[in-house]
Amino acid sequence: MPRRLLIAAALLLGHTFVLAAPQLSPGLAPTLGQLRTLTNEQKNAAALEVLAPAIAKSKPDSYDRFVLLQIQGRLLVSQNQLPAAARSLDEALRLGESQAEFLDDASRVELLQTLAQLHYQVAADQPDAAAKTAGYRRALDYTRRWLAAAPAPDANARYFAASLRYSLATVDPDRPDQALLAEALAEVREGLLAQLDPPAQLRLLGVAILQQLDRVAETIPQLEFLVARQPDNATLWRQLAASYLATPSRENNLRAILTLERAQAAGKLTDSQSRLNLVHAYLQVAGEDRARELLAAGLRDGTIESTARTWQFLAALDQEHASADAAIDTLREAVKRFPDHAGLALELARQLHAAGRTAEAYDLALAATKEPAKIEHPGRSLSFLAYLAYERGDHAAAARHLDTAATFADAKPDDLARLRAALKTK
């Protein structure tokens, strides 16, 4: 998106409108001299005050007015009064196009380009969606006229047109305009063909458009190209990895693994989430041993955030792909790291019970459920505790825990009923 400074530079320095045969009125010379003095002294606000009465006195279709409006537009941009600048230059263009001798072709193209940029910025600054949409459409009208009149629009011109269409298409981010996005993508492709080495921002815009169109797989070649050109850009690595992970297949999961490992070898994507993404990618290609190794190492050296959830994840991998003993060891370590996390202690109790170590499991579960209102699923946890007490032969304790469990809504009635029935037979 063009920035105000770029617009100002274009108007103040780059855009010199070539004036044809018409001549300014001799009486305008003192005003122009005063304007030159004030602008040389950077007194643009004062220059605008001088301009206003001169424009008011000019004839509606005169060459004087045409020139003064352009000067006014330029000065208003320098004062960051973009809506007013756009109005002045709108009128200047109307005059220039109504009088064939006022504007040559090159100057008309430049004025159309400037107006497209101005209206784009004015629209972007609108807080109201309807006003923003109307402003973008006005800018798009100027852009179409500019590109139609330009001899050979370059990649930068196509980038501007594509970004404008993208902005208009996504005014409502929840309901992007698919047709406008397709038009924006066509502009990007025209820009990529316009020169041998188009700007990286054009490719990035193409990636954003494809993502909006839910054509993530098509972003991969562009992102691979950009990563190869900018290997120090962590954002590009992240987008490339995300694109592979978002298009799941064995091949793409392998490519995601290679992308993440290449990035980490270059010192990028070393954050906890990226390392977890690598763990998950290995799981998708039957690399459970490598996934467990990476997760365990990351949790212990701090490169993966140590949370109760990630330790539970590691224990689950141990249980499923290593051994019950490995899972128990992992949960023991987790309980030491998070002594106040009842969920971890209860999970360790379940694993110990499954291993036949009921007494140890009961002690852990009893300690973890001392304040049942503070734990997740208190009714189910207390039902489990009652069952452990029953297995130990402590039926009185089992009955107490069962009564407490029944006071919580999450307790399963069938579990309570079965255990009560078992207690009655004893």
11: confidence class by pLDDT, cuts 50, 70, 90: very low
- Quote the pLDDT of residue 183: 97
The whole-number pLDDT of residue 248 equals: 81
Band of pLDDT at residue 426, cut at 50, 70 and 90: low
Kindly state the tokens that stand for 246: 């978002």
Model confidence over 111-156: pLDDT tens digits?
Answer: 999 999 999 999 999 999 999 999 999 999 999 999 999 999 999 9
Question: What is the arithmetic mean of pLDDT over 153-178?
Answer: 96
For residues 282 and 219, what is the distance between their CA atoms, to the nearest angstrom?
22
Taking the C-alpha atoms of residue 281 and residue 374, their distance in angstroms, rounded to an integer, is 35
Quick check: 195 pLDDT over 90?
Answer: no
Alpha carbon distance 147, 168 (integer Å): 18
pLDDT of residue 304: 97
3-state SS, one letter per residue, for the chain: CCCHHHHHHHHHHHCCCCCCCCCCCHHHHHHHHHHHHHHHCCCHHHHHHHHHHHHHHCCCCCHHHHHHHHHHHHHHHHCCCHHHHHHHHHHHHHHHHHCCCCCCHHHHHHHHHHHHHHHHHHHHCCCCHHHHHHHHHHHHHHHHHHHHHCCCCCHHHHHHHHHHHHHHHCCCCCCCCHHHHHHHHHHHHHHHHHCCCCCHHHHHHHHHHHHHCCCHHHHHHHHHHHHHHCCCCHHHHHHHHHHHHHCCCHHHHHHHHHHHHHHHHCCCCCCHHHHHHHHHHHHHCCCHHHHHHHHHHHHHHCCCCCCHHHHHHHHHHHHHHCCHHHHHHHHHHHHHHCCCCHHHHHHHHHHHHHCCCHHHHHHHHHHHCCCHHHCCCHHHHHHHHHHHHHHHCCHHHHHHHHHHHCCCCCCCHHHHHHHHHHHHCC
The separation between CA 295 and the C-alpha centre of its own chain, rounded to angstroms, equals 27
Angstrom distance (rounded) from CA 291 to CA 280: 7
* Per-residue pLDDT, 100: 84
How far, CA to CA in Å, does 398 sit from each of 353, 374, 388, 395? 16, 21, 8, 5
pLDDT at 13: 35
Question: Quick check: 160 and 150 in contact, CB under 8 A?
Answer: no
Q: Quick one: what percent of the chain has pLDDT higher than 70?
A: 95
Tokens found for residue 316:
């689950």
Return the pLDDT at 21. 62
How many CB atoms are closer than 10 A to CB 48?
Answer: 19
Q: Please state the rounded mean pLDDT for residues 244-266.
A: 94
pLDDT average, residue stretch 248-253: 91
CB 93 within 8 A of CB 114: no
pLDDT one-digit tens code per residue, 81-117? 999 999 999 999 999 999 888 999 999 999 999 999 9
If you search the block for the tokens 């007015």, which residue do you land on? 65
pLDDT for the residue numbered 425: 82
pLDDT averaged over the chain? 92
What pLDDT score was predicted for residue 4? 37
- Percent of the chain having pLDDT more than 90? 90
* Average confidence (pLDDT) over 68-76: 95
